[in-house]
Structure 1
Amino acid sequence: MTVIVELTVPSEAFELGRILSIEGPGRVTLETMVPLGGRPTPFVRVRHDVRDEFVQSVRKHPTVSDIRPLNTHDGETLYALEWDPSEDTLFRTILEDDIVLLEAAGSADRWGFELRFPSHETLSEFQEFYLEQNLDVTIDRIYNPTKPDAGPWYGLTSPQRETLAHAVEHGYYSLPRGISTKELGVEFDISDQAVTERLRRGITTLVSNTISQLEDEP
């Protein structure tokens, strides 16, 4: 049975957190980790108002060989990071143990992760790892993405449900796009970045409690 864990880690506690550390109120979102050329390539998103300082800071790290922009949208730029993960024991453990990174975002101080473990045994092994490494990991939530526990809304919170429904109804996922994250932010009195994270988390929760269940069915 799979298990999903939400946790936080200080930015200074792992290599990628130190690389992607951003000063001030800025926030970095780790979109995904794609294996390219035998190495996991992080795709990260940052706001335009902090991107220059962010890129300069990232390039200074000795394990980084390149960082390049891929696209821009709604005031944010998506970058591909080429780095040597051998020094990052946290991410190396995640990759080697088949732990799925569902969501990750960080600031100058802390990173928040949502991870899907293939079993409770894998989670126990991961907990033993960070305790042995003296990593300051804080577990915020642990739950099984099962249909009975998901409730009538498949685990979605009320804000996630309302934002997703509004986004779909007003053409956020249409081509051409009928509404922007900034306009959605005005509707719900939150920032456009918060809208993006709410939509991403909502979709992740919805898929985890519906489509992903097929993996556990006999």
Structure 2
Amino acid sequence: MTEGRESVSHPMCLEVCLEDSQLVLSSFTASHQGPITLEFQPTQGLGWDYAFVTIEESDVAGSDIERLRTELEHDPTVTEAEYLGTIGDDNRFKLRFEDGVPLFPPETTEMGVQVLSARHADGDWNILMHVPTHSTLHEIQSHYHDHGITFRVKRLHIARETDIGAETALPPGQREALLVAYRNGYFQVPRDVSQEEVADELGISKSGVSQRLRRSIDRLIEATLDP
């Protein structure tokens, strides 16, 4: 019976909200007010211990960068923090974790789960994932329950064959930017192209690409996840 239900299971977009002192970066996020974006990337021989973190903070100088790096290294879950560079208000670091509960199960790839975004703002982590089956959804819930992590499901959208394509809600410029980025592997892990390369193909600035991608993803989330 289980196999029969699984065969007709539909993929889902899941957004969860996490707030717990056991999570990675909990000490840093407790003291930092600005938005933080986390992107995991597998590293040979090290699994998912490494991650890229983007800290949004404007008008940073050399002393500010050193302050952010020091604050990151003082987080008990972080063993290494390397500054990679700043573009606009985005200050990018590479981190290595040694302790703390991961924001999502380390087995996400094997489970067929795609993590679309992991962003901290206003005291909470918001994780957006594409989940292939209901049984996988239960595995994700078990990950949080087993570690005693407080979480709540903000949105759950189950894809149906009758769903109307959300891309119709996108203006032409945003749709083109999203398609060019997707077809060239911008959303792959690791990325096949940079924002600058996407910008060159579109003939616009890098900041223009960044704005179009953010706005198009925001529109798609609104169109597919909001009831």
TM-score (norm 1): 0.66
> Which residue number in structure 2 is paired with residue 45 of structure 1?
54
State whether structure 2 residue 23 is matched by structure 1 residue 15: yes
> Which residue number in structure 1 is paired with residue 199 of structure 2?
174
Q: Secondary structure at the match of 1:21?
A: helix
Distance apart, 1:59 and its partner CA: 0.4
State whether structure 2 residue 124 is matched by structure 1 residue 110: yes
Q: Secondary structure at the match of 1:134?
A: coil
1:71 to 70, 82, 85: 85
Q: Secondary structure at the match of 1:127?
A: helix
Residues 190-205 of structure 1: matches in 2 within 5 Å?
197-201=214-218
Contact 2:177/2:213 (<8 A) preserved: no
Distance apart, 1:204 and its partner CA: 8.6
Distance apart, 1:45 and its partner CA: 0.9
State whether structure 2 residue 108 is matched by structure 1 residue 82: no
Q: Deviations over 1:73-128 (max 9, x none)?
A: 2231221111225x415534554763321111003610100012231111123224
Residues 133-144 of structure 1: matches in 2 within 5 Å?
133-144=147-158
Contact 2:13/2:158 (<8 A) preserved: yes
> Which residue number in structure 2 is paired with residue 33 of structure 1?
41
Change over 3 Å in CA distance of 1:128–1:166 after alignment to 2:
closer
* 1:21 alignment partner AA: T
Matched pairs, number? 189
* Alignment partners' CA distance in 1, 2:216 and 2:85: 19
Q: Deviations over 1:38-89 (max 9, x none)?
A: 231111111344663432211013442211122332231221111225x415
> Which residue number in structure 2 is paired with residue 215 of structure 1?
none
Change over 3 Å in CA distance of 1:202–1:30 after alignment to 2:
farther
Contact 2:104/2:143 (<8 A) preserved: no
* Alignment partners' CA distance in 2, 1:79 and 1:92: 22
> Which residue number in structure 1 is paired with residue 174 of structure 2?
164
Give ranges in structure 2 of 5+ residues lacking alignment: 1-9, 179-195
* Alignment partners' CA distance in 2, 1:80 and 1:33: 10
Change over 3 Å in CA distance of 1:14–1:71 after alignment to 2:
same
Superposed CA RMSD in Å reads 3.8
Change over 3 Å in CA distance of 1:4–1:14 after alignment to 2:
farther
* 2:152 alignment partner AA: T
Contact 2:18/2:124 (<8 A) preserved: yes
